[in-house]
Amino acid sequence: MTDATWLDLVLPLLAATALLLVPGVVATAALRVGLVARVAFAGVSGVVSIGVAGVLAALVGLPFAPWQPLLPAAVILGVSMLLRRRRPRTDLLPRERVRWWWLVAVGIASTAVVVLVAFAHVPGPDRISQTYDNVFHLSAIAHILQTGDGSSLALRTMIETTRTFSYYPAAWHDLVALTVQLSGAPIPVAVNAAWVAVCAVAWIPGAAWLAQLVARSSDGGIVALIAMPLAACSGAMPFALLGWGSLYPTFVATAALPVAVGIPFAAWIHRRDRPRDAGTIIALVLAFGTACAAVALGQPRVLATLAVILVPFFGAVAAVAFLRAWRAGGRSRRRAVVAVATGSGVLVAAVVVGFLYAVVRLGLFSRPLESRLGGGQARATQSVADGLIQVLTQTWLTGIGTATAPALLVAVATAVGLFALARTPGSRWIVVSFLALAVLFALAAGSDAVVTKLLTALWYKDRYRLSSGLPVLGVALATVGILFLARLIGRRAVRWRPAIAAVLAVATTATAVLALGATSAATGFVFRLPSVHAGDAVVSRTEAAFFARSSGIIPAGERVLGDPWDGSALSAVFGGREPVFAHVNGQFDADRLVLAYNLDEIGSNPAVCRALDALRVRFVLYDPHQLDGGDPSGNHFPAVHRAVDHGLFERVSRAGDTVLYRIDQCGPLAAR
């Protein structure tokens, strides 16, 4: 493992940005929108194009390649052109009257703030998040690169080895794999580049576009200049998801949420202002489907966050429409009653289907509810009141359990924004949605009651997943709060200089709180790289470098055996040799189970050699440490340790604690 400098991030960052923007711009070419919306829509559409391309390439037998996302993008463009009755007559938003280069410059500066906060304590871009979830994510990227299969329909077969199809959302892993192919960067560098690129072209412009919609009475360009720095300095998104997990798929899906939330709102605004412009509404309906697909291809469970945010909006729109039709009487009233009855029936049917799925598929009643969702991510560690105070003061939990200092200026701006929108007809639903997410977060973090588990089950009762949804609306709220205060200063006319000065003060103090406090320190700890002894991390520097050198000993096409809890699961990431166990958890086939539980019987049990031959294994990677102290549910790979402790294999090479052993008892592997 070599030491990379942060300059080595530039080329893969450009590659990841191009992979998102180029197909995204093609897919959204039919929409007539401002610059901020153009970038946000393109970033989200790029996620969809990449995820869909991975599925389609696998179905037709093509190895996954960087040019393929252009095909789904062209299809999206073609469909949008066919569905529109005519070209939309006007922009969806007030014109962005500031110079375009100001928007670009502030967007780049905001991205730089994200990089500063996230990686202030990380020496180089080749570091990995040393966390449980990231073992799977890194192995999945290596699996795509080795097999050429980037399909979400089969990604989970990497750890469910008895199945041909097993869904796991692959958009994140596909983006990183294509970044590796396009830039030639190592997987760890490509991971960090892709993370920054998603922040730059999806999260930051998406949050700014939603703020433009919410503050639609103000100039869209100025609103974006205020909102983009605020999106870059929220502790709950994107930083908490980087330190906890690390939850890269959830991060991608959450980055797409502002666009997914904003599109129905934009359609409602546009329909109200220009009821005859059907072309724009049809284009927005297609765009909403694309945004939902981006969320689903990132992490489908984030659709639950989208639902919590949009249910109050759709409820408010439906209530207004029903009351208008009721007052009109006659046929309009009858249609309204039928629509309410139909909608109620669909809602009841959805609840019944969801309940049956929970009973039949998830085994809702197979064990008591109170015994579920009790793992580390779900266990309450504070009170519900503490969670509400954290939302009120913009104090956010980090991935290692510490909390940031309060971002008081952001808190004030958000509170003022809540007050302003509560007084604004057509925008009160935002207040309801934000408060609903706040309550769910506080419950997940502060209560282990059965009702809490039911309410937060779709998020695994994970406070980090729930808290990451709050900035989706929080950025717009803080932006509105700053504009509201600027209007007070200007006596109903917004004075831009005070507004810009205010956002600079808010963003600077919030960034300092994160960078000098718990957020940067937490990510620095998660991305630590022990020198020789890995301790409770996944791998050490010595171990990762040893994996790379071992590829010169282990023949290509052979797998390597090891306990995945000791870092051997990453042998493909650092050494290009596929591990027998690519993750610390999974549902493995009979041959793998024989090696996990009976490897030490190699001299007396013929099934061991048969399994080694079937999986093409003749080498064992071994390191005495275990990630986070080992599997809390028990040791599921005991025979690997017993075989090494009994000295059954020939030692070939060693570096620090890590040893490569050769298995001689079964003879050489047959040639393919």
Whether 105 maps to a domain, the answer reads yes
Beta-carbon contacts of 159 under 8 Å, excluding residues fewer than 6 positions away, are 136, 582, 583, 585, 586, 587, 588
Whether 518 maps to a domain, the answer reads no
Predicted local distance difference test score (pLDDT) of residue 88: 46
pLDDT band at residue 89 using 50, 70 and 90 as cut-offs: very low
365 or 627: which carries more pLDDT confidence?
627
DSSP codes joined into one string, 587-635: B--HHHHHHHHHGGGTTT-HHHHHHHHHHTEEEEEE-S--GGGS-TT--
Separation of alpha carbons 28 and 287, rounded Å = 8
Comparing 125-129, 348-352, 539-543, the range with the smallest average pLDDT is 348-352
Separation of alpha carbons 530 and 625, rounded Å = 12
Residue 2 CB coordination number (10 Å): 11
pLDDT band at residue 404 using 50, 70 and 90 as cut-offs: confident
Q: Is the pLDDT of residue 90 over 60?
A: no
Predicted local distance difference test score (pLDDT) of residue 276: 55
Q: Is the pLDDT of residue 371 over 70?
A: no
Is the peptide bond between 229 and the residue preceding it cis, with omega within 30 degrees of 0? no
Contact of 475 with 483, CB cutoff 8 Å: no
- 18-32, pLDDT tens digit by residue? 999 999 999 888 777
Q: Is the pLDDT of residue 106 over 50?
A: yes
Domain boundary among 244, 278, 302: 302
Give Cα separations from 156 to 173, 180, 540 (angstroms): 12, 21, 27
How many domains does the chain contain in total? 2
Whether 115 maps to a domain, the answer reads yes
Predicted local distance difference test score (pLDDT) of residue 285: 78
Percent of the chain with pLDDT over 70: 88
Domain boundary among 286, 302, 318: 302
Contact of 413 with 478, CB cutoff 8 Å: yes
Predicted local distance difference test score (pLDDT) of residue 425: 83
Q: Is the pLDDT of residue 9 over 60?
A: yes
Whether 383 maps to a domain, the answer reads no
pLDDT, mean of residues 328-338? 69
- 212-221, pLDDT tens digit by residue? 999 887 778 8
- Determine the structural domain holding residue 254 and report its residue range: 6-302
Whether 371 maps to a domain, the answer reads no
Q: Is the pLDDT of residue 211 over 90?
A: yes
- 129-138, pLDDT tens digit by residue? 999 999 999 9
Whether 490 maps to a domain, the answer reads no
Q: What DSSP designation does 201 have? A: I
- 454-498, pLDDT tens digit by residue? 888 888 888 899 999 999 999 999 999 998 888 877 655 556 777
Predicted local distance difference test score (pLDDT) of residue 51: 95
Whether 513 maps to a domain, the answer reads no
pLDDT, mean of residues 79-84? 71
Q: Is the pLDDT of residue 665 over 80?
A: yes
Domain boundary among 281, 302, 323: 302
- 3-state SS of 335-390 is HHHHHHHHHHHHHHHHHHHHHHHHHHCCCCCCCCHHHCCCCCCCCCCCCHHHHHHH
Separation of alpha carbons 49 and 335, rounded Å = 39
Percent of the chain with pLDDT over 90: 56
Comparing 123-127, 444-448, 630-634, the range with the smallest average pLDDT is 630-634
**Residue the block writes with tokens 């066919």:** 82
Q: Which range has highest mean pLDDT (265-269, 326-330, 523-527)? A: 523-527
Average pLDDT, the chain: 86
Whether 312 maps to a domain, the answer reads no
Q: Is the pLDDT of residue 87 over 80?
A: no
Strands across the sheet with 559-561, in order?
559-561, 617-622, 658-662, 650-655
pLDDT, mean of residues 624-644? 83
Comparing 77-81, 550-554, 624-628, 661-665, the range with the smallest average pLDDT is 77-81
- The candidate with the shortest Cα–Cα distance to 507, out of 394, 613, 594, is 394
